Each structure stands twice: as C-alpha cells, then as structure tokens.
Amino acid sequence: MKDQFRQSMAWLHTWLGVLSGWVLYFMFVTGTAGYLDTEIDRWMRPELPAAQWPLSQDAAIGQAHDFLQAQAGDAQRWTITLPLDRNDPFLQVSWRGTASGSAWLDPHTGQRMAVRDTGGGQWLYQLHWRLHYLPARLAEWIVGAATMALLVALVTGVVAHRRLFADFFTFRPGKGQRSWLDAHNLVSVVSLPFQFMIAYSGLVFVMFSFTPLIVVAWFGSGERGQRDFMDGMFPPLAPAAAAGRPAPLLSLPALVQDAQLRIAGAPVATIDIQNPGYAHARVLVAGSFAAGPVRTTDLLVYDGVSGELLAHRPAVQSGPRTFRDLMLGLHEGLFAGPLLRALYVLSGALGCAMIATGLVLWTVKRRQRVELGRALPHAGLRLVERLNVAVVAGLVVAVAAYFWANRLIPAALPGRAALEQQTMFCAWAATFLHAVLRRPARAWVEQWAFAGLALALLPLLNAATGGLSMPRALAAGDWALGGFDATALLAGTLLMVTAVSLHRRADQAVPC
C-alpha cells in the first residue's frame, strides 16, 4: 500500500514538474536576478557615480524639494526616495500631473544626473510575475498556478523519495540517468527549506487573484468592486481633497523629524506629497520596508500647510496581517545583508538547477527506453528535448543579450529601454530556432558555450563602453559595479566549463 502511494506521488511529481517546469524555470531565473537588482541597475547605468549612503537627510530632502519646485512646480504629486540603504542607494524624485517624470539627483549638488533610459534590474526582476507581453490578470493566474504546482511538486517529491536525506550525500557522475537523478535530488535537498518558503510566500503574494468570487459577492463586479475590496483591505489614509487655494508647503525636514520621533527614530525612506503648494496638501511619510523580515512600516500623514498629524498607521496591526507581511518580506529579501543575500542568490540558483535537472531527467529516462527498444520514439519526446534546450540554456543567452544591448544601443536613443527588452526576447526566440535545427546534444553544448562567453565578456564590454573596469571599480569601493562584473565572469566561466564537459561526454550527459 505504501509503495502504491509513493508511486502515485512520484507520478504526480513528475507530471507537475514537466507541465509547469518551463514557466517555473523562467520565474526562478528572473526572480533570482531580482536579488541582485540594485547591482544590475548600477551596471546598466554606468553614468551614475558610486553609491554613497546614508547621506545627510535634511540636505537630501532640501535638494529634492528645490529640484521639484523648479522642475515640476505645477505637478499634483511629488515623491522623494531618500538614499537609505543598498535597496535605494541614490536620491531619486518623481512627479505626476499634466506631465510626469523622474530624475536621479547628484548627492552633492542636487542637480539632475544624466542617466540612460533602461529597465535595468528592476524590469528583469518584475518579469518573474508580470511575464511581460501577457495581460496582468492572465499573468497572475499563470504565475499562481505554476507556484501552486511547485508547492505540490515539492510535497510529492518528499513523499516519493525514500532516501531523502541520504540523497544529500549521494552523487555518481558519469552514470547517465542515475547521475541526473542524483543531481536533481542533491540540489533539491540542499535548497528544500528555501524552495518551500519561496513557493508558499509566492502564493501569499497572489492570493487576492484567487478570490474573485468573494470580491464579486461582497463588493460587486468590475473595477469598482475590485477597488472597493482593496480599499477595505488597505484603507487609504486621510486622502487629499481637490487642490484649492495656493498655500506654502511646510518645511519637509521638520515633518520628517517629527515623524521619526513618533516611530522611535526609525529611518524615513519615502516622502510623498499630494497637491504641493496648495491648502489641501498632504504629506505621507513612510519608513523603510527593508528594515526587517516583516515587510511593513509605519505610515504617517500630515497636513502639508499646518503640519498637523492627520493619520498614523502603525507597522503592526493584526496577527494575520503581520503573517502576510512576514511572508512578503521573506520572499523579497529586501532586509538581507550581504551574506544572507548571497544565500538567497545561491538558493535561487539551486532552484533553477532543480527545475532544469528535473526537466532533463524526464527526457533522459525516456530516451534511454527508446535506445533499449522498450519504447518507440515519438514527437512529444523530441519536442520536450528541444524545448528544454531553448528554455534552460536559451534563457541565459537571452539575459546576456539584454546586458549587451544595454551597452551597444546608443545611450541617447529614444525608446532604448524597450529596445533592450525586445533584444532579449528576440535572442530567446533565436535559441528556439537553433534548438530545432540542431541535434539536442549539440544544441546544449553550443548554447551553454555561447551563454558563457557572452557573460564572461561583460567586464570587457563594461570597460570598453564607459564603465569603470572591474579592478578600478573594486579599488574605488564601487562594489555594485565591480561585483556585477566579477559575478558575470564567474558565471560565464562555469557555463563554458559545463559546455566543454558536455562536449566531451555528449552521448552520456544529454539526450541525443
């Protein structure tokens, strides 16, 4: 009875992995890149100086206010993001109104810094739930379904394996199917706690997408019902009335100092001003969402003219809300220091390897049956073999192409951010064509070799296109820029070593 139960769990584990594996791999690669989004942002904007934080808060607020007053005095809303930590290392401002925009400000002069238009690391990170070309609601459903499949696959994988922890110490190279199974078990067991956390917390992120009937029943259908539901879950704080007569804005540093006294000296990360320059101005002061693993902070709303405190939402409101915020905080990892962030990245990479080895194992096992005469070759096997190459290796090629496009497209070209993104997806489409035209064994070798070379050459590309070379960046303390180059060189070298190894043992290592 136990063996039958394990076999049923193994069957479910296998097919959930195959059917959702390609989407999950895309989510894991781009999501893991999100843990290095600030470093990627820095590399893709070589015009920026090395980050300096924290700076004098009053000076930064004053510089931001003066810039916004001069450049966007008639805007309906201003937002100031202070250079507080690794997540927000530069002073940034944005504005909305008849004209909207944003700017990076020099920390010494308060002047706008000329920065190229790019999606940077944030766009790469947002790919793992937005899926780019798809409508938002459809993307949420696909991501939610894939995440649920991951969670069930993890549970069924644990149940199906009798020797779960023994597999941690077992790896037999050069044994074909057995080697792929050992590799899949090894990377899965090593990162199992992280995978459970990331799957469960990911479901918490999209939980509101899976409650449409509740929303319709209590709040009505359409956008209005959705808006009323969200307002009920997260009620707005002292919303501003329509802009009335002109009135001077109260000193922002004074409001921030008062806010810090009320939140026990915690740092302020964001200042949001509605209707600046009018009698109904509102100033929302928020702390840092990266202050700890619970992704929440105090929010305070002031009258922008009198300075009266209109509302104060404390960080901790209820047990269920705190649990949700904890799950979100653990998923994003904004609070993580250098060592913990490195563990996040390593665990994410192991998750990518877990999915990739599972996908390849499926084809190796079935290809071996065909070679032994126990099964007939079929179109489904050939399709999965080629999709595995294009998704697993091809996505890395596409990400490398995204970085190359960032430096090769002229910095002043209009719409260049969209061109970078299109370059990535065009490169990925090319890997699908390549996988169709080549035997899988050769396609694996060639795509891994190309991806490794493209990544390993990024430090040279950086130095040749205006960025500080890796040695100079590290010597100057620009760890974000130098660290990106070092990581790209290491990753590229490992991929090229992988390609050489696969080339030497092509018949054993990959399906033919």
Q: Which of 23-32, 72-81, 453-462 has the lowest mean pLDDT?
A: 72-81
**Structure-model confidence comparison of residues 369 and 2, the more confident one:** 369
Instruction: Dump pLDDT digits (tens) for 418-453.
Output: 999 999 999 999 999 999 999 999 999 999 999 999
Instruction: Please provide the average confidence, as pLDDT, over all residues in the chain.
Output: 89
**Structure-model confidence comparison of residues 102 and 316, the more confident one:** 102
Phi and psi at 271, nearest 5°, equal -125, 125
How confident is residue 9, by pLDDT bands cut at 50, 70 and 90?
confident
Question: Would you state the pLDDT for residue 233?
Answer: 66
Cβ count near 358 (within 10 Å)? 25
Residues 6+ apart with CB under 8 A from 301: 237, 238, 282, 283, 284, 285, 309, 310, 311, 312
Domain ranges of the chain: 1-47+120-235+322-352+359-374, 378-512
Answer whether residue 510 shows pLDDT above 50: no
Nearest by Cα to 84 from 102, 65, 61, 68: 61
- For residues 451, 455, 460, 464, the Cα torsion angle rounded to the nearest 10 degrees is 80
How confident is residue 507, by pLDDT bands cut at 50, 70 and 90?
low
Q: In what order do the strands lie in the sheet with 299-303?
A: 101-105, 91-96, 77-81, 268-274, 282-287, 299-303, 309-313
Compute the distance between CA of residue 132 and CA of residue 421 in angstroms, rounded to an integer. 9
Question: What's the CA angle centered on 323, arms 319 and 326, to 5 degrees?
Answer: 135
Compute the distance between CA of residue 374 and CA of residue 411 in angstroms, rounded to an integer. 58
How confident is residue 7, by pLDDT bands cut at 50, 70 and 90?
confident
Residues 6+ apart with CB under 8 A from 310: 237, 238, 282, 301, 302, 303
For residue 512, give the amino acid letter: C
Q: Which of 42-51, 239-248, 411-420 has the lowest mean pLDDT?
A: 239-248
Question: Would you state the pLDDT for residue 444?
Answer: 96
Answer whether residue 213 shows pLDDT above 60: yes
Nearest by Cα to 394 from 368, 359, 363, 342: 359
Length of the chain: 512
Instruction: Dump pLDDT digits (tens) for 228-251.
Output: 777 666 667 766 666 568 899 999
**Structure-model confidence comparison of residues 107 and 486, the more confident one:** 486
Task: Please state the rounded mean pLDDT for residues 7-26.
Answer: 92
**Three-state SS for 312?**
strand
DSSP secondary structure string, 346-386? Answer: HHHHHHHHHHHHHHHHHHHHHHHHHHTTSS---HHHHHHHH
Q: Residue holding tokens 């080895």?
A: 357
Let me know: does 310 contact 302? Beta carbons within 8 Å: yes
The pTM of this model reads 0.92
